[in-house]
Chain A
C-alpha cells in the first residue's frame, strides 16, 4: 500500500455536525487520547444555545475544535487542517474556515436533498465540483459503513446510525496515529450494562480506523510527537472543573467548609453540578430560587463562617448587583464567579465574550470597590479560584472571579499540583473582645484593613451588620458626613492594599521595545502565541498578562513606560483599554473583536505589524 508517515509539529481538527450527532463527545474522546499520548493541546467547544434545534438546520450545528502539538501551544487555533462534516449544515457553517488545501471528511449519507435544501445549498457541493479545487475531499457513506459494521447486533437502525460519530473518530485516530484503547475503555464505562451499545460503538470506532487503513484515500498519516512539558503527572482539564477544584482546595487549606448558593445559568452551571457531587467533602450546595437568593444565601453563609461562593454569568451578576454592594459594605469574604458569555441581555448564552469587565468593576450603586481576578487558561482557573478565596478571606471582601465561556469549556493538559504546596490560607475567627469592654466589628487590621470575622455562636461578640453606612470601628448605623467619607475611603484603600499581596507582573520578552501586548483573561493564549511569532520574526514586542484587574498591579505603570506602543486585545469594545488609558495616561490602542469567539493569534500579529511595521 505504501502508506507514509509524515511528522508534523501541530494540527488543528474540527468535528462538526448536528446537535444530536455527538460532536462534543467525539471531540472529548479525541482530546482525552491526545492528552494521553502526550501532546500539548487546547480545545474549543462551540455549541448552539438550543438544546435540540431542528435536525439539519444551520442553527443546530455543534462543533468541537482541537489543536494539538509537539510544542508548547496556547490556543485552539483558528482555521482547521481537517474538518469532519456530518451533514450539509455543518459543512455550510464551517467550510469557509478550513485552511486552503485542508482535508474535508464528509458523511455523504446525510447529504440528502432535504438536508441540502435546509442548509441552503442549491446543488450538492460534493458533486458539483465547488470544493474540489480548494480541499482534499473525502466523501464517506458513514451510515452505510456503521450499518455493515453492526450487522448481527440486536439494535434498531436508529441506534446503529448514532454510532457514526465513533466511525469518524476512528478515521481521525488512524490519520493521526492514535490508540483506540482509551476510548474503548471509556465506552465500557459510559454504557455499562448496555452491551449491545458498547459493542456497536466499539465496532464503529474500529471500522473507522480500519477504513482509513484499507482505503487509499489516506496515503499519508501524520505523527505529532510528544510535547516536552515540564515533568509531572498530568490530566486534561477544563476551566469550570478547574475552578471548582480550586474552590475545594481553598476549602481544604483554609479549614472552612464550602457553601455554594446559586441559580443555574449557562455557561456556569457545571460548577454547581460538580460541587453538588462533592458532598463527601462536606460541600453544601443550595440551588436557590433565583440569582438574588443565590448571592443573598452566600452573604448569610459568609456571615455564619463558611467559605461562601456563587457562580453565574453576566445576566446573573446584573441581578446580584445590589446584594454585592451589601457584601462590600458588610465586608464579608465571598467569591463571586462570572463565567462571561455574549451580551447584552440574554445575548449569546453559549458563546464567549469579555464584555463584563466594566460590570465587574463598576456594576454596583455607590462607591463599591470589589477586587477582580481573571484566569488566563482553563487550567489556570484552578489557581485563580484558589487565589480569589485566599484574598477574600485575608482582606474580608467579596472577590469577583471573571472567567469566560471559552475558558470554562475549553481544555488543556494540566499538571496536577500538590495541595500542600499551595499558598497558606490563614483564617482566624474573632473570639475575644477587641477593645476595653467591647467588641468592635469594624476595628481594622493595620496592614490589610480587614475587619474581624466574628461568627454567630461566639459568646460576647454579638453584633449587627447591615447595608446602612457603618460608623468606623463600632459598626453602628451612622449618617455622619465625615464618617461616610472616611468609610468610603477605607473600603477603597482596603482593596488597593491587595496590591501588596499579589505577585509582581511577568514581562514576556524584553522590558522595553516597540510594542507591549497587554491582555487579561481568556485572550492570554492568543496574545502569547502572537508575541512568540513576532519575536521569532525579530520584532521588539513583549507580552504582559493581567491576573488582577482590581487592584491593578503596582508595577504596571513602570512596565508600560518601557514601550513605544501598547495594544490591548479584548473581546469587547475596549473595557480594559479605557481603564489603562485613564489610569496611566498612555495612548494605548485596542484590538476589539466581539464575535462570540476567541481572537485569533494571527489577527493580533497583523495588528501589531500594522503599527510597528
Chain B
C-alpha cells in the first residue's frame, strides 16, 4: 500500500551492491538507470517492489535493483509474477523481459497475463535479437535478417508486440526508446499508476549483435521518424511540420503547411479501434514509429477480483472452519 509516511528515497537506494555486467554501451544501462531514478518518485516503500524476470540479457535486471527480485527461468516471468501478485496484491510487481523471453518461449504467458489484467508492469526490452545466446534472430527480427542461425537471411516474419498485446486484451500498451530518457520516465510513471496489467515495449539497442537497429528513432532524423502520442492532442510530428490524417481507416502523413490542425487525427488512448490502427504503424514504410501510450483503459483486475470473490464467499458462508468441514458429509459413529 502506498504509505503517506513513505520515507524519502533516492536513486541510490534502488541500486544493489552487484556489479552490472552488461556489455559496455548496451541500451540496458539507460533503462536501468532511468528505472532506479523513477522508483523513488513513486513515494512507495522499497520493500514493496518486486522485480521478476525470465532469461536473457534484460533478465539480469533484478540483480541490479535493491528491491525484492526474482530471476526466474526462460519465458516464465509473467507466471511467477502472477503468483506473487495474487499472493500479495499490495506489492508493486514488475516484469522485466525481452523479445525472445517474452514473445517466443514465453509467448503464452505474455498473452494470458495481459488477458487477465493482472496488475503487473511488464517492461519488454526489444532489441530484435537474441543477445545472451550470441546473436540469433528473434521473433521481432525483420525478415531477411542474417545471423549465425540464419546465414541466408531469416525467413520468419516478425511479430508486432503492441498489436499482440492489444489482441490479448491488454488494458495498457505503450512504447518508448532507450535513448529517450524523459519519455521513458513518463511511460514508467504511467505504467506504475495504471491499475491493471501494463505493457511497455522499450526499443533497446544491442550494440554487439544488432547495433543501430533503432538508429532511425534515436539518430539525427529521429523527430522525422517518430511520433510521440499524446492523449487528446492532434497527431503531429517532425517538429510540427507533419501530421496524420485518417482517410477512412487508412492513416496518411500530410504536410502541416497545407493542412489545418483541425483535420489532424486526435489521439484517444481509450479508443481500442484507434489503438489497433496505431499499433499497425510499427516499422511501417511510410508512417512514423508511434511511441507513448497507445492504449489505456480502466478494467477490474484479476488480483482484485480474486480478493472480492473470497470476501463475498466469507460474507455469504462465514469464515470456513476446517474441523467442521472434516466433520461434514454422511458420517457414522463407531463406539
Contact = CB atoms under 8 A, between A and B. Distances in A.
Interface of A: 32, 35-36, 38, 182, 226, 229-236, 245, 248-249, 251-252, 259, 261, 278-284, 286, 288-290, 292-294, 296-306, 308, 322-323, 326, 330, 415-420, 455-468, 476-477
A518 B85 CA distance: 45
Contact of A303 (B78, B83, B313, B325): B83
A335 to B, nearest CB: 14
A226 B71 CA distance: 59
A29 to B, nearest CB: 11
Q: Which 9 A-B pairs have the closest CB atoms?
A: A300-B83, A466-B71, A296-B79, A281-B320, A297-B83, A304-B87, A279-B313, A464-B69, A293-B79
Given A280-B320, A298-B83, A463 B333 contact: no
Contacts of B133: none
Chain B: interface size category: 35 or more
A147 B18 CA distance: 80
Given A296-B72, A461-B47, A259 B330 contact: no
A301 B86 contact: yes
B297 interface: no
A233 B333 contact: yes
A462 B46 contact: yes
Given A233-B333, A297-B86, A457 B63 contact: no
B54 to A, nearest CB: 10
Nearest to A281: B320
Contacts of B18: 476-477
A229 B331 CA distance: 14
A285 B83 CA distance: 10
Contact of B48 (A236, A245, A302, A457): A457
A419 B313 contact: no
Contacts of B310: 279-280, 282-284
Given A280-B318, A300-B80, A477 B86 contact: no
Given A36-B330, A462-B68, 13 more contacts: A32-B330, A232-B333, A249-B322, A252-B322, A279-B310, A282-B314, A288-B82, A300-B52, A300-B85, A302-B83, A304-B88, A464-B68, A464-B70
B290 interface: no
Given A36-B330, A281-B322, A466-B72, A290 B108 contact: yes
Contact of A464 (B62, B73, B80, B327): B62
Contacts of B76: 292-293, 296, 323
Contact of B67 (A248, A283, A302, A462): A462
B323 A418 contact: yes
A286 B69 CA distance: 22
22 contacts: A182-B330, A230-B334, A232-B333, A233-B334, A278-B325, A280-B319, A281-B320, A292-B79, A293-B76, A293-B79, A296-B109, A297-B80, A303-B68, A322-B74, A330-B70, A458-B47, A460-B47, A462-B67, A462-B68, A466-B71, A467-B72, A468-B71
Nearest to B322: A252
